[in-house]
Amino acid sequence: MYLPFIFIYAISVVTRKSLAELAYFTLLFGLVLAYDEAQEGDFTSPRLSPRI
C-alpha cells in the first residue's frame, strides 16, 4: 500500500535537480499503476482469459 509513495519519494530524491524530470517520472509511474489496475478486471485480455 505504501510502495507507490516510497517509489515517488525515491524518484524525487534522484531527480530533485529538475522538476520536469520529477513530473515526468511521477506521470509515468501513475500511468503504469492505472494500466495495471485496468488489467486486473479485464478478462478479455489474452493473458487473463481461461484456457478451455
**CB-hemisphere CA count at 13 Å for 11?**
18
Determine the pLDDT at residue 41. 60
Determine the pLDDT at residue 16. 72
Answer for the pair 4, 33: CB distance below 8 angstroms, yes or no.
Answer: yes
Determine the pLDDT at residue 47. 59
Determine the pLDDT at residue 36. 74
Determine the pLDDT at residue 45. 55
| Domain extent listing, the chain | 3-39
Q: Express each pLDDT in 3-46 by its tens digit.
A: 778 777 777 777 677 777 777 877 887 888 777 776 666 555 55
